[in-house]
Amino acid sequence: MKKKVLAAVIAVAGVLTLTSCGQVTSAATIGKTEISISTIQKSVDQILADRKGVDLTGATIDTGAALNRAQLRFYLVSYILDQVAADKKVSATPAEIASVRTALVSQVGGESKIKHALIGAGLTADEFPTYIRGYVIQTKIAQLAKAAGIPNTNGEAIQALVVAYTKAHKVTINPRYGVWDPATANIVDAPTTSAPVTTSK
């Protein structure tokens, strides 16, 4: 089970707050919505705690700045997808979420294997339901694209919707996490020299 940038939609309650751009407590803002540094740090701390005592031989995992950047990317793009889903009137029902969870648990070898699978995917236990919900929503958006005759073999239709949303709403990234790439709606590694806060406009 791999964690994909476009494979999750975050529930915003208690995680994202309205604020002005440029706050020192902000990891990123999109429009008037903020993702706080504390939210990202909490996620990173939990991932690192989950890894303790676990055999990660052969696993490809993010560490250091890459881990921080990956977690911010997860929250930011997931929030954007949540807005896209609302616009497309797409949602995930409890029954659909339960069904996908059952399939994923079976795929990794049962409940006893879930923790190790989540570690490999870069997800905390609290983020697992969000991952599942996002999978369901992404699948439904893909179905809409197919019905409209829009190519989406590699997720390009969904990616286009995400990019379009970020072009319509200013994105600001705290440079401690990296640099915003508006062409791909992604956070990339920052240059070695210091740089101002990066935005989508």
Token readout for 199 is: 């935005």
Q: Which helix (H) or strand (E) holds 87?
A: helix 64-87
Which top CATH class is 16-199?
mainly alpha
Residue type, 71: Q
Domains of the chain, residue spans: 16-199
| 107 close to 75: Cβ distance less than 8 angstroms | no
- In this prediction, the residues of the chain whose per-residue pLDDT falls under 70 are 1-23, 191-201
**How is residue 44 written in tokens?**
């990173």
* 111 DSSP 8-state letter: G
pLDDT at 1: 55
> How high is the pLDDT of residue 25?
86
Quick one: pLDDT at residue 163? 92
Buried-state track 51-70, b at ≥16 Cβ within 10 A, e below 16: eeeeeeeeeeeeeeeebbbb
Give the per-residue pLDDT at 60: 86
179 pairs with which residues across the strands? 188
Four-point Cα dihedral 112, 118, 124, 127, nearest 10: -100
Give the C-alpha separation, 173 to 27, whole Å: 6
**pLDDT tens for residues 121-170?**
899 999 998 889 888 988 999 999 999 999 888 888 998 999 999 999 99
Q: For residue 12, what pLDDT is reported?
A: 31
- For residue 40, the model assigns a pLDDT of 96
